[in-house]
Amino acid sequence: MTNKLQVDGFNYKGQEPAKIIETDVLTVGAGNAGLQAAAAAAEEGAKVIVIEKEDTINLMRVSLAAVGANSQKRANNEIDKYELVEYISAFAQHRVDQSLIYTWVNNSAETLNWLEDNILKPNGAHLRSEPDAGKKDPIYNAYPTQSDTTCDDKTFASYGSFFQDKVEELGVEILFNTSLIELIYDGNGVTGVIARDLENDEYIQINAAKGVILATGGYSANLELLEKWNPISLKKNVINDSPRSNGAGIVSAMNIGAIKDEEPAQLVFDRGLVKPGTKTEDQFTHTAKYEDWLWLASHPFLKVNLRGERFANEATPYEFINNAASKQPGYLYAVIWDSNYTNYLSQHHTLGCARVGFPGYMDGAQAYKEDTEQYIDTGLVHVADTIEELAEKLMLPVETVKATVVRYNELAEKGFDEDFGKEASKLTPVNKGPYYGAVLGGRILATADGLRINNNMQVLDENHDPIEGLYAAGNDSGGFFCGTYPDRVPGLAASRAHVFGRLAGKHAATK
Ligand SMILES: Cc1cc2nc3c(=O)[nH]c(=O)nc-3n(C[C@H](O)[C@H](O)[C@H](O)COP(=O)(O)OP(=O)(O)OC[C@H]3O[C@@H](n4cnc5c(N)ncnc54)[C@H](O)[C@@H]3O)c2cc1C
């Protein structure tokens, strides 16, 4: 086929595979969607193989959204599903397949309950839903969708190894160091894949009688694809937090006639520290270790563009400040705060993973202080006795920054943000030295535009008909998000992966 997109830099030219393996269901990617799919298919009695290009499973996310899960019932968290689905759809300007969002909402409780009963509880953990996570915000509502995996109600419990044990107990075989290269399509449907055995440096063929489920996690590590499908993401973001996801699933399906979302979607956190003077086009680093990640940056402190001017309400979903900065010169921005900052954190009422205290990653002021101070040592957070000196260190125009801080303090004194409408509780002054600042860009967690699917997670062709034998779940699938991820429905991306993985596995195994 001409104009084929290349996966993983391998130039497979139809060589004879070193071996042929037979299975019922093949899942590509041992991550959130992939392992759920494998477990669900195996529970239905199918023979299941998972191929994973790395030598470990991926991190299983500890915060998962649902409506009506047992954990939410225990916490008396009630959510009107119709209101929620409309909110998620409206957030994307309805550039979504709304029936998929209903499919998620209607299956989310079953998936979380299954996780709790089969993976967590046998290992001493459970799901905890936080009653104060909902909020009617003057600008954007937040929904108490998130449940967190925990043993002690004070810290997260990671459950990846429990999940791996469970799928292996169900008879699933995980082939690590095995990368998807291309799908085998016989004109009627997908019958299997060609994969690269990276250890033995050879191609193998895996035939899947009931279906192939793509769950490779999107394409945020693939610069060429970002340039093609989401070019502004390379300007808004300075770091990619999903280095494993290079687009193999999406590309392999498009090479046999699948369609994908026409508009990009992504998850971005506003926590990417860079050195002052960095140009966004010069930096796009990959990490799986939360490097140069400033938790404080998701708090609504004063934020200024590279000209030293305030440019937006800072109290918005995480990615909105990056979106707002993308309309400013240079795409990056700086956050400025003062020595009283730890006193203000609780009143900010930040949500999701920026929440102060569990379930959140920072359990209180001391944790924020330690996180922040480590970056003073690495030259990414700057401290100065005066605003002038701080502006110089941040390489921002000194007089403009001074005037911006004076104006911001006037607004804080009035308790009314005449310029950008930020709530009074989040309008905290910058008046006690030493002063702090850092230059920031976005960090892309994952892309979320993917292959078009139907409600059975079957991948669609250009006629919007399902391609026999082909499924996609998680960030390889699309139709669900557009543009910015609605982080005030916390846990939605990870939950979509789990719920749709599970549905794909069940359908493939029982069809
Ligand atoms: C730092 C961080 C924080 C996040 N926080 C949240 C949060 O709070 N709430 C939320 O809802 N979501 C969050 N997310 C997003 C969420 O984790 C993802 O959207 C979701 O887990 C994606 O699941 P997935 O199954 O699509 O992909 P993944 O779980 O990423 O799995 C994909 C797997 O496919 C493998 N793979 C890739 N290419 C190939 C190939 N060619 N052959 C074989 N295997 C391959 C990869 O190695 C990987 O193991 C966060 C993500 C990150 C990175």
CATH 3.90.700.10 positions along the chain are 267-444
CA distance 337 to 438: 9
**CATH 3.90.700.10 is right for the domain spanning 267-444:** yes
Please give the backbone phi and psi of residue 77, each rounded to the nearest 5 degrees, phi first.
-95, 105
Chain region(s) in the chain for CATH 3.50.50.60:
18-218+450-511
Query: From the CB of residue 489, how many other CB atoms can be counted at a distance below 10 Å?
Result: 24
Ligand 1 closest atom vs CA 218: 26
Segment 44-70 shows an average pLDDT of 98
Distance between Cα 31 and ligand 1 center (Å): 6
What does residue 65 show for φ and ψ, rounded to 5 degrees?
A: -90, 155
- Which CATH number applies to 18-218+450-511: 3.30.565.10, 3.50.50.60, 3.40.50.300, 3.40.50.1220? 3.50.50.60
Token output for 257: 């006639």
Report yes or no: 382 and 438 within 8 Å, Cβ to Cβ: yes
Lining ligand 1 with CB less than 6 A are 8, 28-34, 51-54, 58, 61, 63, 179-180, 215-217, 241-242, 244-246, 248, 267, 353, 445-446, 474-475, 491-494, 497
Query: What are the helix and strand counts (H, E) for the chain?
Result: 14, 19
pLDDT value, residue 1: 39
What was the pLDDT predicted at 368?
96
Distance 290 CA to ligand 1 centre (A): 14
Q: What is the pTM of this model?
A: 0.97
Answer yes or no: is pLDDT of 10 > 90: no
pLDDT, tens digit, for every residue of 433-489? 999 999 999 999 999 999 999 999 999 999 999 999 999 999 999 999 999 999 999
Average pLDDT on 399-422 reads 97
Beta-bridged to residue 126, according to DSSP, are 150
Q: What number is the average pLDDT over the span 217-222? A: 97
Q: What distance in angstroms lies between residue 58's CA and the mean position of ligand 1's atoms?
A: 7
Q: Position of tokens 């936080």?
A: 130
CA of 308 to the centre of ligand 1 (A): 36
Nearest to 302 by CA among 440, 201, 165: 440
Length of the chain counted residue by residue? 511
Distance from C-alpha of 227 to C-alpha of 430, rounded to nearest angstrom: 39
Reply yes or no on whether the pLDDT at 9 is more than 70: no
Contacts of 461 (CB under 8 A, 6+ apart): 257, 258, 259, 467
Instruction: Write down the mean pLDDT value for the chain.
Output: 95
The number of angstroms, rounded, from the C-alpha of 219 to the middle of its chain's C-alpha atoms is: 12
The single-letter code of the amino acid at 349 is H
**pLDDT one-digit tens code per residue, 285-294:** 999 999 999 9
The ligand 1 atom nearest the CA atom of 492: 11
pLDDT given for residue 353 in this prediction: 85
Phi, psi (degrees; rounded to nearest 5) at 223: -60, -35
Residues whose CB is less than 8 angstroms from the CB of residue 435 and which lie 6 or more positions away in sequence, other chains included? 336, 337, 338, 339, 383, 384, 385, 386, 387, 390
Give the Cα separation of 486 and 468 in Å (integer): 32
Which ligand 1 atom minimizes the distance to the CA of 54? 47
Both tokens assigned to 204 = 């193998």
60 three-class SS: coil
Q: What is the DSSP letter of 374?
A: H
Rounded distance between C-alpha atoms, residue 23 and residue 25, angstroms: 6
Is pLDDT at 329 greater than 50 in this prediction? yes
Instruction: Give the whole-angstrom CA distance, residue 273 versus residue 59.
Output: 23
Residue nearest to atom 30 of ligand 1 (CA): 217
| Mean pLDDT, residues 58-77 | 97
- Residue 134: per-residue pLDDT: 75
| Cis ω before 243 (30° cut-off from 0) | no
Joined tokens for residue 85: 């689905």
**pLDDT level of residue 155 (50, 70, 90 thresholds):** very high
Cβ neighbors of 47 (< 8 A, separation 6 or more) are 23, 24, 25, 171
Output the CA 242–ligand 1 centroid distance in Å. 7
Please determine, for residue 85, whether its predicted confidence score (pLDDT) is greater than 90. yes
pLDDT in tens, 362-402: 989 999 999 999 999 999 999 999 999 999 999 999 999 99
pLDDT at 7 over 70: no
Burial of 431 (0-12, 13-18, 19+ CB in 10 A): middle
Which residue's CA lies nearest to atom 53 of ligand 1? Answer: 445
Distance from residue 66's CA to the centre of ligand 1 (Å) = 18
Pocket residue to mutate for ligand 1, from 28, 240, 245, most atoms within 8 A of Cβ:
245
Which run of H or of E encompasses 408?
helix 398-414
Report how far residue 322's alpha carbon sits from residue 324's, in angstroms, rounded to the nearest whole number.
Answer: 5
pLDDT band at residue 141 under the 50/70/90 scheme: confident
Task: Write out the two tokens for 430.
Answer: 């910058």
C-alpha dihedral over 109, 111, 115, 121, to 10 degrees?
Answer: 30
Q: What's the pLDDT score for residue 2?
A: 39
Cβ-based neighbour number of residue 181 at 10 Å? 19
CA–CA distance, 120 with 117 (Å, rounded to integer): 6
Confidence of residue 354 (pLDDT cuts 50, 70, 90): confident
Three-state DSSP state, 400: helix
CA–CA gap between residue 63 and residue 89 (Å, rounded): 21
CA distance 425 to 428: 7
First to last CA, the chain: 30
